[in-house]
Chains A and B, each alone.
Chain A
Amino acid sequence: MIDLPTLELDERFRAAAAAAGLLDVAYDVFDDTSMGPLLVGVTDRGICRISFDPEPERELERLARVHGPRVLRSSKPVERLHRELDEYLEGRRRDFDLDVDLRGQPDFQLRVLSELARVGYGETTTYGALAARAGNPRAARAVGTVMNRNPVPIVLPCHRVVGANGSLTGYGGGLHRKELLLRLEGAIS
């Protein structure tokens, strides 16, 4: 008999690690969303990562760098986020009830992302307008960069930020996803 830790034992450890509060980040990959596979991470303070890149290697290194090395896949802590994302993507939810953990973000990024959080479901705004609301009307391009590096897309709705002429401009997760999200929210037809 080959001695391998069973799947059940593996899952039990992962759940116990989270239950004991020993994780800096619990993450999981949701394979079955309409946006494709999503890697999500949560800390004890809230959602710290949503990534369209299903390749965990890079993400885990990044999460460890920002939040601490105890990064472990564990499904229980991300259960609620999974449910809320499903509901949102099925058009049954407009706002997320979960907190966002933006530790490690520089000041400007933090200001821009907090303003972004106020852009409501089905609305759109422009990079310039968001820059102005963050206190620096000339920083439209910098805002574009912040959007591109948004650690929690979808929940912090960078898809609702478009060019001054109404073009979709760009999206960290690919333009087709931005279009899907805006269409889902009825912002474009």
Chain B
Amino acid sequence: MAVVVPPFETFYETHKTEVFRFLVGRVGREGAEDAFQETFLRALKAYPRLEHGEHLRAWALTIANRIALDLYRRRRPVGEMPELVTEDGRPAYEELATLTHDLPPKERAAVVLRYGYDLGYDEIGAALGSTESAARQAASAGVRRIRSQSGARPQTFAPGGPPAPARGLAPANPEEQRQ
């Protein structure tokens, strides 16, 4: 049997902390516990079908994102906001969660993985089972939809990483502006 992915133990140990933090940002500490187990069980089920060991981080975060979405759909948030995660200048995921709440799942995943997690479009594409350009389109469609829904550029949404827009959701590089 050709080994194309690392042993699951290695995958799990490498990504569990980041996945957990991501989930805490998305669904709060309490929900994160269930979502965490669900995420890795789902990853375990799909693991033998993976064809290569690249983009595993993006893949893990995408599964976590889907689980978080399911959780949100099941219990529409009432009143309380999820716990705020801000460390090392990382974006406040709950803000992303709120902003992207009504996006179609693929756009939402693309926006969150791009602006919340600084993943490249190639990684996002691989994680979503599509292509780099499809991921780029999904992210930019998501951003446009957020803008049109909120009526104005949300000044508060300023993710911290290098590819993030300096202010609001203005695309950071010229390539994206062409979209």
Contact = CB atoms under 8 A, between A and B. Distances in A.
Nearest to B11: A69
Contacts of A56: 9
B77 interface: no
A5, A16, A17, A68, most chain B CB atoms within 10 A = A5
Q: How large is the interface on A (under 10, 10 to 19, 20 to 34, 35 or more residues)?
A: 20 to 34
A24 B44 CA distance: 10
B17 A65 contact: no
Nearest to A5: B20
Contacts, number: 74
B59 interface: no
Interface in B36-86: 36-37, 40-41, 44-45, 47-48, 85
A178 interface: no
A113 interface: no
30 contacts: A2-B87, A3-B21, A3-B24, A3-B85, A4-B17, A4-B20, A5-B17, A5-B36, A9-B36, A10-B16, A16-B37, A16-B41, A20-B41, A20-B44, A22-B41, A22-B44, A23-B44, A56-B9, A60-B7, A60-B10, A61-B3, A61-B6, A64-B6, A68-B48, A69-B5, A70-B8, A70-B47, A71-B7, A72-B7, A72-B12
Interface of B: 1, 3-10, 12, 16-17, 20-21, 24, 29, 32-33, 36-37, 40-41, 44-45, 47-48, 85, 87
Given A68-B1, A69-B47, 5 more contacts: A3-B24, A3-B85, A4-B20, A63-B7, A71-B8
